[in-house]
């Protein structure tokens, strides 16, 4: 009932998501017999437990994405990869570029960065716009739903006590075939759609080619979090954690430290070395952190909701109801996230709300790898994007499509990502 009320407040009454979470959590607490002191304590605890492990990772992730975008590194990656792949295989180059750019950049920021590149490449190659663009946008969507340091998978991983490094590695393994299906293969069916975007879109800032950073440094800085987390995970797989090298790797592989090092490297190579002054770079970083304030509030709200469910005994009650269902927790988590996503629109809210429901079930099914649960919920949270999702309208307006065309392109692409992601998780669960 509380979740239905949350959906009603956000979708029908258009109330701010954080405020909706707070009101619903208070009402839920009262309904299960908690007094006001207990509810207040749960609110404080929920915010602290949820945001505490995330603020540094998400903050530094936003800063890294800002530097990668503003320096032209994202533009250089896209341009270089399309040159390498050529016109014949342009879709594969766009998909790879979308994945690389999508790892450090939050979805909306990544979308704004790559759209003018998509238009420029489609114009140069004379290929249909969606045929060129969908592979890149599918890759961005997959990164948003599956891969840390994006807010939803990172927050879900923290709540489930999943390894960020393993989540990233498993996520990339599943992401590759998912992107292939939802990107290049699906885009081959979209040649008949060739919209003409409005002229205002082409006014987005583009850096001259001779002023772009080199492809090597662009790739390394954009992928530095992935490099650090993956390398340390692999080294610790063969080196004892108690050894000198093992301790160093544990330090570097801590997500907070990895993100800090990544930002410092980007500050030097994409900022200072290109002649930018420290005050100007710091202003960029300030703007980047401000841009995720709304996301942090949504995550805080979900943390309050989960804490009230836990302290009020709701989670245990739900777990007892669902534990006898003949469904794998991986499928159940995906299904719950998908239902909430379709109802409420936000992938982040869908993912974080699902965690609170699934925690007691996972306590019973301890054989489920938490990293795979993160990916299952992440895949479900991308299901069937439609008119209540901001991404739907972003795609529609930028590509100048009708609502019907947006359903037949964007919505189907997101659904393919969601279903393929679940299939990938189920296959991987038999391997790892």
What token pair was written down for 216? 């090597």
For residue 407, report the phi and psi dihedrals to the nearest 5 degrees: -60, -40
What token pair was written down for 374? 């993160």
Only one residue has tokens 């299901």, namely 383
The whole-angstrom separation of Cα 101 and Cα 76 is: 10
Residue 208 CA, chain-centre distance (Å), reads 30
Task: Note the pLDDT tens digit of each residue in 137-191.
Answer: 999 999 999 998 888 899 999 989 999 989 999 999 999 999 999 999 999 999 8
Average pLDDT over residues 346-369: 80
Average pLDDT over residues 361-379: 85
Average pLDDT over residues 380-405: 86
% of the chain at pLDDT higher than 90: 41
Give pLDDT, residue 288.
87
Residue 297 scores a pLDDT above 90: no
What token pair was written down for 39? 């509810």
Sign of CA dihedral 126, 130, 133, 135: negative
**Binning pLDDT at 50, 70 and 90, where does residue 364 land?**
low
Give the 3-state DSSP-derived string for the chain, with helices as H, strands as E and coil as C: CHHHHHHHHHHHCCCCHHHHHHHHHHHHHHHCCCCHHHHHHHHHHHHHHHHCCCHHHHHHHHHHHHHHHHCCHHHHHHHHHHHHHCCCCHHHHHHHHHHHHHCCCCHHHHHHHHHHHHHHHHHHHCCCHHHHHHHHHHHHHHHHHHCCCCHHHHHHHHHCCCCHHHHHHHHHHHHHHHHHHHHHHHHHHHCCCCCCCCHHHHHCCCCCHHHCCCHHHHHHHHHHHHHHHHHHHHHHHHCCCCCHHHHHHHHHHCHHHHHHHHHHHHHHHCCHHHCCCHHHHHHHHHHHHHHCHHHHHHHHHHHHHHHHHHHCCHHHHHHHHHCCCCCCHHHHHHHHHHHHHHHHCCHHHHHHHHHHHHHHHHHHCCCCCHHHHHHHHHHHCCCCCCCCCHHHHHHHHHCCCCHHHHHHHHHHHHHHHHHHHHHHHHHHHCCC
The whole-angstrom separation of Cα 155 and Cα 52 is: 10
The whole-angstrom separation of Cα 16 and Cα 231 is: 40
The whole-angstrom separation of Cα 120 and Cα 336 is: 40
Give pLDDT, residue 322.
63
Task: Note the pLDDT tens digit of each residue in 109-130.
Answer: 788 778 877 887 887 788 899 9
Q: How large is the C-alpha radius of gyration of the chain?
A: 21
Residue with more model confidence, 370 or 117: 370
Residue 330 scores a pLDDT above 90: yes
Task: Note the pLDDT tens digit of each residue in 19-52.
Answer: 988 999 999 999 989 999 999 999 999 898 878 8
The whole-angstrom separation of Cα 332 and Cα 324 is: 12
What token pair was written down for 428? 């991987």
Task: Note the pLDDT tens digit of each residue in 214-267.
Answer: 999 998 998 898 888 888 888 888 888 889 899 999 999 888 898 899 999 999
CB contact set of 240 (below 8 Å; sequence gap of 6+): 246
């Amino acid at each position: 009932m509380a979740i239905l009320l949350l959906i009603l407040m956000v979708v029908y009454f258009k109330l701010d998501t954080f405020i909706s979470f707070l009101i619903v959590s208070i009402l839920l607490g009262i309904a299960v017999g908690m007094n006001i002191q207990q509810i207040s304590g749960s609110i404080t605890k929920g915010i602290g437990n949820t945001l505490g492990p995330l603020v540094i990772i998400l903050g530094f992730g936003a800063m890294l994405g800002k530097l990668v975008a503003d320096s032209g590194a994202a533009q250089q990656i896209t341009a270089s990869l399309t040159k390498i792949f050529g016109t014949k295989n342009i879709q594969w180059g766009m998909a790879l570029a979308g994945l690389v750019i999508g790892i450090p950049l939050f979805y909306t920021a990544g979308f704004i960065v790559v759209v003018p590149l998509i238009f420029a490449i489609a114009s140069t190659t004379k290929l249909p716009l969606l045929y060129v663009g969908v592979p890149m946008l599918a890759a961005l969507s997959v990164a948003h739903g599956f891969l840390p340091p994006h807010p939803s998978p990172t927050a879900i991983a923290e709540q489930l006590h999943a390894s960020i490094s393993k989540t990233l590695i498993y996520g990339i393994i599943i992401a590759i075939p998912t992107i292939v299906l939802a990107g290049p293969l699906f885009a081959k069916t979209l040649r008949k759609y060739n919209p003409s975007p409005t002229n205002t879109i082409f006014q987005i800032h583009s850096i001259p080619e001779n002023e772009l950073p080199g492809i090597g440094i662009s790739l390394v800085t954009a992928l530095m979090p992935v490099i650090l987390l993956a390398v340390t995970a692999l080294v610790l797989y063969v080196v004892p954690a108690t050894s000198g090298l093992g301790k160093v790797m544990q330090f570097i592989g801590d997500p907070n430290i990895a993100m800090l090092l990544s930002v410092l490297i980007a500050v030097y190579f994409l900022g200072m070395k290109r002649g930018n002054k420290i005050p100007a770079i710091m202003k960029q970083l300030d703007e980047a952190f401000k841009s995720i304030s709304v996301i942090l509030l949504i995550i805080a709200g979900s943390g309050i909701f989960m804490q009230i469910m836990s302290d009020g005994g709701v989670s245990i009650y739900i777990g007892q109801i669902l534990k006898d269902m003949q469904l794998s927790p991986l499928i159940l988590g995906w299904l719950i996230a998908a239902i909430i996503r379709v109802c409420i629109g936000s992938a982040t809210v869908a993912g974080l709300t699902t965690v609170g429901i699934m925690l007691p079930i996972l306590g019973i099914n301890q054989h489920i790898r938490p990293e795979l649960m993160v990916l299952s919920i992440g895949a479900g949270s991308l299901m069937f994007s439609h008119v209540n999702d901001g991404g739907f309208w972003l795609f529609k307006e930028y590509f100048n499509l009708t609502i019907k065309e947006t359903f037949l392109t964007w919505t189907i692409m997101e659904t393919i990502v969601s279903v393929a992601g679940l299939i990938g998780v189920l296959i991987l669960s038999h391997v790892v």
